[in-house]
C-alpha cells in the first residue's frame, strides 16, 4: 500500500508542505506491527498556519461561493472518493486494521456524506417571522467561520464525512486534526477535495499528537466551533478549552449501548445483529451494541446461540478480510486485555480461537462472550472498545429499562420484541440519542441524526441536524413603517 501523495506532509492553504519541526511519526500496520509509512508530527505553528489559511479562505474565494457551488464541489468530491475507493479502502485497512469489506463500507459512507451534504447545501433555509406592523423579520443561517475537527482512529473516513461534509456544505473553513494512529485517509481526502475544486484553505489537515496539535487547535480563539469524537477524558478537556473562548462544541464520546432482547423477539433475525454489533471493527465502534440484555426465560437459549456464533468467528490479518482483524494499536490491545483480565473463568462463555499463524507483532484479541455478570460490574459498565460482548439477564420491562439506563452513557439502544406497544414504550424510555427497533444501526444511515446523552456527549451529527450545528442563526428585523 503506497499512497499517491506524500504522507509526511501536511495540507495547508491548498498546498502540501512539511510541518514546521520537520519531525515525523510512524504509521504502523496493526496486522503485523510493521512500520509502513511516516506522517508529519504537526505542532502549534502548523495549526496556526492552518487557521490563518482557513481565515483567508473565508475572506476570499471560498467565502464568496454560493451554496449551490459548494454543493457541486461536494458532489464531485463524492465521485472522486468512489473512483479512488479501492485505494482508500486498502489504505484504511492497513492503517486501522479493519477487514477490507468494512473499509469498503466506510468508503461508500464517505461518498454518501458528500452526496447528502452536497445536496443539502442549498436547501438550508431561514424563516420569515410574523411580527409587529411596520417590520419585516427573517432569519439567516450563517457559517461559524473557522471550525476545528478532532477525530479518532476507529472510523476516520466516516467521521470525516459526517463532520467535514456538513461543515463545508454550510460554508465553514475547516482545520482537521486526525488521530495519530490513523491519518492516511484524512490526507487522501484533502488531496481529493483539491482535485474536486475546493478552494485553497477551505480544508486543512494537520496530523500530530493530540496533546500538542489537538490542544493547539482547541485553544485557538479564532476557531469558532469545535467538533470532537473520542474518549470522555479528552472530550472533557476539549470542552474546557472551548469554554475559554465561549465556543460551541459537539462531543461524541462513545458508549455502552444496550440491546434489549425480549422473550417474544425473533432470535433468528436478531442473532447476526447481536453478534456483529459487538465485533464490527473488532468492537472499536462508538455505537457498538455491546451490552446484550436478555429476558430470563430465553437467556440460556440466546447464550448458547451467541456462544456458538462467536466461537466460530474467524480472526485474521485485516487484508485477509475475515470476520475480525487486529485492534488498532498495542496500546488499545493492552486496554482490552486489561478488561478481559477482570472476567472470572465462569464468566467467559465463549471465545473464538486465535490461529497459530497470526503475525507476532499484530494486536489480536480473541472475540469473547461474557456472562454471569452483575449489571454494575466494570465489564457491564465501561466501554471496552474491543471484540467483547456482555450478556445480562432481566426479568421484565421495568427491569430492562432500569438496567439499560444504568450506565453513565447514552449513545444508542435497541429493542428486540414482537410487541408493538412495548417497542414504543421502550423507544421513549431508553436514554439514548438513537433507538433502533428490531434492528441495530440501520446500516449506518448518513441521514439519521446521531449523538448522545449523558457522558456519551452532546450535540447531533449526521442528517440535516448537523447543518444546524454548523451554522449560527441571525435574526434580521427591518423597520420600514
Ligand atoms: O482517545 P482520545 P484514544 C475511547 C475508547 C478508547 C479510548 C482511548 O474507549 O479505548 O477512548 O482512545 C485527540 N486535545 N474512544 O486515547 O485521546 C487524539 O489525537 C485535543 C471512543 O485514542 O480521545 C485523537 O485525534 N485533542 C471513540 C482524538 O483526540 C486531543 C473513538 C481521540 O483521542 C487531546 C476513540 C487533547 N489534549 C476512542 N488528546 C468514539 N467516540 O468513537 C488527544 N486528542
pLDDT in tens, 426-471: 999 999 999 999 999 998 999 999 999 999 999 999 999 999 999 9
Asked if 175 and 54 count as a contact pair (C-beta separation under 8 A), the reply is: yes
Grid cell of 429 as nine digits: 424510555
- State whether 224 and 263 are in the same domain: no
Domain housing 191 = 10-253
CA atoms within a 13 Å half-sphere pointing along the CA-CB vector of 12 = 22
Q: How far apart are CA 40 and CA 51, in angstroms?
A: 17
User: Which residue matches cell numbers 470525516?
Assistant: 160
Please check whether residues 290 and 221 belong to one and the same domain.
no
Q: If 0-12 CB within 10 Å is exposed, 13-18 middle and 19+ buried, where does residue 132 land?
A: exposed
Domain assignment present for residue 460? The answer is no
**Which among 379, 389, 310 has a CA at the least distance from the CA of 351?**
310
Ligand 1 centroid distance, CA of 412 (Å): 19
Say yes or no: 272 and 177 in one domain.
no
CB 137 within 8 A of CB 131: yes
Out of 253, 284, 303, pick the residue that ends a domain: 253
Å from CA of 408 to ligand 1 middle: 18
Q: Is residue 455 in a domain?
A: no
CATH number at residue 356: 3.40.309.10
Shared domain check, 238 and 104: yes
Task: Give 123's pLDDT tier (boundaries 50, 70, 90).
Answer: very high
Residues 21-25: what's their mean pLDDT? 98
**How far apart, in whole angstroms, are the C-alpha atoms of residue 82 and residue 93?**
16
Distance 314 CA to ligand 1 centre (A): 28
> Do 107 and 208 fall within a single domain?
yes
Contact 145, 173 (CB under 8 A): yes
Of 219, 237, 253, the residue that ends a domain is 253
CA of 448 to the centre of ligand 1 (A): 24
Q: How far apart are CA 121 and CA 241, in angstroms?
A: 30
User: In this structure, how many other beta carbons lie within 10 angstroms of the beta carbon of residue 325?
Assistant: 30
Backbone Cα Rg of the chain: 23
Answer yes or no: do 167 and 298 share one domain: no
**Considering the domain boundaries, does residue 142 fall inside one?**
yes
Which is the closest atom of ligand 1 to the Cα of 208?
19
286 and 138 in a single domain? The answer is: no
CA of 378 to the centre of ligand 1 (A): 20
Ligand 1 binding pocket, CB closer than 6 Å: 150-152, 154, 177, 179-180, 210-211, 214-215, 218, 229-231, 234, 237-238, 252-254, 286, 332, 335, 383, 385
Residue bearing cell 454560493: 66
Give which of 313, 317, 393, 318 is closest to 103, Cα–Cα: 318
* Annotated catalytic residue, options 286, 383, 397, 461: 286
Is residue 479 pLDDT above 90, yes or no? yes
Same domain, 439 and 400: yes
The label of the residue with cell 420569515 reads 128
Residue ending a domain, choose from 253, 271, 301? 253
On whether both 162 and 205 belong to a single domain, the answer is yes
Say whether pLDDT at 1 is over 80: no
Instruction: Decide if 27 is inside a domain.
Output: yes
pLDDT at 2: 86
How far is it, in rounded angstroms, from Cα 381 to Cα 207? Answer: 32
CATH number at residue 147: 3.40.605.10
Query: Does residue 477 fall inside a structural domain?
Result: no
Supply the residue whose CA is at minimum distance from atom 30 of ligand 1: 210
State the total domains in the chain.
Answer: 2
First to last CA, the chain: 68
The CA-based dihedral angle spanning residues 333, 336, 341, 347, taken in that order and rounded to the nearest 10 degrees? -130
Residue to mutate, 106, 151, 152, 182, ligand 1, most ligand atoms under 8 Å from C-beta: 152
Question: Does residue 299 sit in the same domain as residue 249?
Answer: no
Q: What pLDDT is recorded for position 234?
A: 98
Catalytic residue, chosen from 90, 92, 181, 252, is 252
Atom of ligand 1 nearest to the CA of 159: 42
Of all protein residues, whose CA lies closest to atom 16 belonging to ligand 1?
A: 231
Classify strands 368-370 and 348-351 as parallel, antiparallel or unpaired.
antiparallel
Contact at 8 Å (CB) between 275 and 303? no
| pLDDT at 89 exceeding the cut of 90 | yes
Q: 465-468 contacts: CB < 8 A, separation 24 or more?
A: 466/117, 466/162, 466/163, 466/166, 467/117, 467/120, 467/124, 467/141, 467/166, 467/169, 467/170, 468/141
Active site residue 52: no
Can you give the pLDDT at residue 197? 98
User: Using one digit for the tens of pLDDT, what is the confidence trace for 383-435?
Assistant: 999 999 999 999 999 999 999 999 999 999 999 999 999 999 999 999 999 99
Mean pLDDT of the chain: 98
Q: To test the ligand 1 pocket, which listed residue (30, 206, 231, 461) has its Cβ within 8 A of the most ligand atoms? A: 231
The number of residues making up the chain comes to: 481
The pLDDT tens digits for 300-358 are: 999 999 999 999 999 999 999 999 999 999 999 999 999 999 999 999 999 999 999 99
Q: What percent of the chain has pLDDT over 90?
A: 99
Identify whether the C-beta of residue 417 lies closer than 8 Å to the C-beta of residue 265.
yes
- Evaluate whether residue 459 is within a structural domain: no
Residue 252 is a catalytic residue: yes
Verify that 134 and 209 share a domain, yes or no.
Answer: yes
Decide if 17 is inside a domain.
yes
Q: Are residue 293 and residue 229 in the same domain, yes or no? A: no
- CA of 127 from ligand 1 middle (Å) equals 38
- Domain contains 130: yes
Strands (E), 376-468: 388-394, 412-416, 434-437, 457-458
Q: What CA–CA distances, in Å, run from 125 to 59, 122, 330, 444, 466?
A: 23, 8, 47, 26, 14
CA angle centred on 30, ends 207 and 336, rounded to 5°: 100
Q: Give residue 254 CA to ligand 1 midpoint distance, Å.
A: 10
Cell numbers for 284 = 472499536
What is d(CA 8, CA 5) in angstroms, rounded to the nearest whole number?
Answer: 9
Query: Whole-structure pTM over 0.85, yes or no?
Result: yes
Mutate to test the pocket of ligand 1, among 182, 207, 227, 230 (most ligand atoms within 8 A of CB): 230
Instruction: Tally Cβ neighbours within 10 Å of residue 16.
Output: 16
Find where cell 491519518 sits: 183
Amino acid at each position: 500500500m503506497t499512497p499517491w501523495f506524500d504522507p509526511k506532509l501536511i495540507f495547508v492553504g491548498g498546498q502540501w508542505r512539511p510541518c514546521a519541526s520537520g519531525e515525523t511519526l510512524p504509521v504502523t500496520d496493526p496486522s503485523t506491527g510493521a512500520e509502513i509509512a511516516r506522517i508529519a508530527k504537526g505542532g502549534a505553528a502548523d495549526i496556526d498556519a492552518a487557521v490563518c489559511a482557513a481565515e483567508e479562505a473565508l475572506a476570499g474565494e471560498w467565502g464568496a461561493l454560493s451554496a449551490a457551488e459548494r454543493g457541486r464541489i461536494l458532489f464531485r468530491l463524492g465521485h472522486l472518493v468512489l473512483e479512488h475507493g479501492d485505494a482508500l479502502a486498502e489504505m484504511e485497512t492497513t492503517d486501522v486494521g479493519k477487514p477490507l469489506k468494512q473499509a469498503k463500507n466506510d468508503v461508500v459512507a464517505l461518498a454518501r456524506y458528500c452526496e447528502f451534504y452536497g445536496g443539502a447545501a442549498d436547501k438550508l433555509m431561514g424563516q420569515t417571522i410574523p411580527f409587529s406592523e411596520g417590520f419585516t423579520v427573517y432569519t439567516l443561517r450563517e457559517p461559524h467561520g473557522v471550525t476545528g475537527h478532532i477525530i479518532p482512529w476507529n472510523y476516520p473516513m466516516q467521521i470525516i464525512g459526517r463532520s467535514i461534509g456538513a461543515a463545508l456544505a454550510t460554508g465553514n473553513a475547516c482545520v482537521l486534526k486526525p488521530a495519530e494512529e490513523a491519518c492516511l485517509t484524512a490526507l487522501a481526502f484533502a488531496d481529493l477535495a483539491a482535485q474536486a475544486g475546493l478552494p485553497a484553505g477551505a480544508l486543512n489537515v494537520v496530523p500530530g499528537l493530540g496533546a500538542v496539535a489537538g490542544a493547539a487547535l482547541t485553544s485557538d480563539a479564532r476557531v469558532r466551533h469545535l467538533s470532537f469524537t473520542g474518549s470522555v477524558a479528552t472530550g472533557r478537556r476539549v470542552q474546557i478549552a472551548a469554554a475559554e473562548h465561549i465556543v460551541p462544541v459537539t462531543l461524541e464520546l462513545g458508549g455502552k449501548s444496550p440491546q434489549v432482547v425480549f422473550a417474544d423477539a425473533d432470535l433468528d433475525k436478531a442473532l447476526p445483529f447481536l453478534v456483529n454489533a459487538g465485533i464490527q471493527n473488532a468492537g472499536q465502534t462508538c455505537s457498538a451494541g455491546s451490552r446484550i440484555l436478555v429476558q430470563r426465560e430465553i437467556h440460556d437459549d440466546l447464550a448458547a446461540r451467541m456462544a456458538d456464533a462467536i466461537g466460530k468467528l474467524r480472526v485474521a490479518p485485516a487484508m485477509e478480510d475475515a470476520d475480525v482483524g487486529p485492534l488498532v494499536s498495542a496500546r488499545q490491545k493492552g486496554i482490552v486485555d486489561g478488561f478481559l483480565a477482570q472476567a472470572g473463568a465462569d464468566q467467559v462463555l465463549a471465545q473464538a480461537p486465535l490461529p497459530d499463524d497470526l503475525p507476532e507483532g499484530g494486536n489480536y484479541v480473541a472475540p469473547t462472550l461474557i456472562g454471569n455478570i452483575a449489571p454494575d460490574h466494570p465489564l457491564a459498565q465501561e466501554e471496552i472498545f474491543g471484540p467483547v460482548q456482555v450478556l445480562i439477564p432481566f426479568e421484565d420491562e421495568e427491569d430492562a429499562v432500569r438496567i439499560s439506563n444504568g450506565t453513565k452513557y447514552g449513545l444508542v439502544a435497541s429493542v428486540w420484541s414482537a410487541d408493538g406497544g412495548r417497542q414504543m414504550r421502550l423507544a421513549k424510555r431508553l436514554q439514548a440519542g438513537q433507538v433502533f427497533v428490531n434492528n441495530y444501526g440501520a446500516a449506518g444511515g448518513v441521514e439519521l441524526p446521531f449523538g448522545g446523552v449523558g457522558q456519551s456527549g452532546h450535540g447531533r451529527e449526521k442528517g440535516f441536524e448537523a447543518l444546524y450545528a454548523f451554522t449560527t442563526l441571525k435574526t434580521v428585523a427591518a423597520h420600514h413603517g
